[in-house]
Amino acid sequence: MKRRGVLLDAGPMVAIVSRDDAQHERCVAALADLQPPLWTSWPVLTESLWLVRRDPAAVQGLFRGFAEGVWSLSRLGDEALPWLEGFLNRYRRLGAQLADASLVYLAERENIDTVFTLDYRDFSVYRYKKNKSLKLIPGLGQ
């Protein structure tokens, strides 16, 4: 049975659309075990597009992922700003970025406990809903 309700970080998003990425095969294999759509945010998409900006096929792949329903954007409105500011302040020593904060915000708002990420260092530290940790996929051993 495929896992449903998963948030998508920039690392796997880039790896999936970039055949030259060192994590490409690993992330494509992990994606096969997930039920689309994977949920992401504008900050994650912005980061991903910046990372692949010199690879036209990867840029096209990012947009194709949305068109084909593999991933979808979750709305972040003005109401998210105080939460995001608090998160960035709380994790400032870690160097938390807006893309990460947006995913943890969505985890809390949408009650999603799983993030598809390659950023184990940060996401293993982040907490939501008063100290709940997130499940991270693919696992370190995968």
**Domain boundaries in the chain?**
6-137
Instruction: Supply 19's token pair.
Output: 């055949």
pLDDT of residue 130: 87
Q: What is the tens place of the pLDDT at every residue in 38-91?
A: 999 999 999 999 999 999 999 999 999 999 999 999 999 999 999 999 999 999
Which of 99-103, 116-120, 136-140 has the lowest average pLDDT?
Answer: 136-140
Q: What percent of the chain has pLDDT over 70?
A: 95
Q: Is 134 exposed, middle or buried (CB count within 10 Å of its CB: 0-12, 13-18, 19+)? A: buried
What global pTM score does this model have? 0.94
CA 48/CA 109 separation, integer angstroms: 23
pLDDT of residue 125: 96
pLDDT of residue 2: 65
pLDDT higher than 80, residue 3:
no
pLDDT higher than 50, residue 17:
yes
pLDDT higher than 50, residue 142:
no
CA 122/CA 54 separation, integer angstroms: 26
- The CATH code of the domain at 6-137 is 3.40.50.1010
State which amino acid sits at residue 3: R
pLDDT of residue 113: 95
